[in-house]
Structure 1
């Protein structure tokens, strides 16, 4: 009889500990709605690559040979990761051209080419008469693409004036989609 009480008591303790751990884990992952953190809200936003996170800052060479640092700005930032060999990337280029012509003076737009030689990218831009040549950055070793965990191209990311990622999509993006995101900021 004594053994059954010990087993039951031990099982109850394990269940209580599991529930306590679960509540603690939930509170850590959901600080905005946790009563534990209400008295000490965190006022900083974590850097990351997903919507709601502060963008990681980076520097790359432009197609024109200038080092460009992309960081929080007083303008909205649009990043588009692409390659010349990628059919969906080529498909969306006319939409990006229209976006750049319409918003290039009010939005920081960067077309980040992944792991291709500068002369190949420059030839592609010239052959297709794209005017956003100065907005092309070269991620020669793919380090920025790895930082942002770009698993498919094209991928577009929109960052607000506070440096917070507000939109991220893999696959082709249209002028209308980007305009919709801008209007929502």
Structure 2
């Protein structure tokens, strides 16, 4: 049952694809977060920190999350983040619930621009705010973008530092690191 609840946390927050021009209501719903059931932290898992939701919803404790999950650390001021955003939007569209996505808006002083960034790029999945760089040390974030791959047990099985260069690269990482074929 906990795995189902964790799936619902992310799946319910953006299961619908959003077109390039979503309605404001659809975009706000897509950025919404739902609490995940509390779980013990996992060795080599996501850090035991809670971050506020960029959209509507409660703070989310990263250590509660299980995969298959792709966590993308980004910022609206980050040029490479803009380059890879279409690949993440396409992954969400193609994944059909087989892989969950979570964004972390990192060290971003302008949350209103972060919301606009997510909407403009069709990133219709939950996003959290890390204004204080709480994930910097545990995930060894030198700067965005950074993409972490989390397995069904909650372990971070791979961290890609820097920009994702193509849809093929991202899809291959999901297959190789999470065992999910799209």
Considering the TM-score relative to the shorter chain, is it more than 0.5? yes
Check if 1:169 corresponds to 2:160.
yes
The count of corresponding residues between Structure 1 and Structure 2 is 134
TM-score (norm 2): 0.64
TM-score (norm 1): 0.63
| Greater fraction helix | 1
**Cα distance change, pair 103–69 in 1 and its aligned pair in 2 (3 A):** farther
* SS in structure 2 of the partner of residue 85 of structure 1: coil
**Cα distance change, pair 57–102 in 1 and its aligned pair in 2 (3 A):** farther
Mapping of 1:32-181 within 5 angstroms? 47=43, 53-66=44-57, 67-71=59-63, 73=65, 75-103=67-95, 105-116=97-108, 117-126=110-119, 128-132=120-124, 134-173=125-164, 174-181=166-173
Deviating above 4 A after TM superposition, structure 1's stretches of 4 or more consecutive aligned residues are none
Q: Which structure 2 residue ranges, 5 or more long, are not aligned?
A: 1-41
C-alpha contact 1:81 1:145 (8 A) present in aligned 2? no
C-alpha contact 1:82 1:154 (8 A) present in aligned 2? yes
What is the Cα-based RMSD across aligned positions, in Å? 2.3
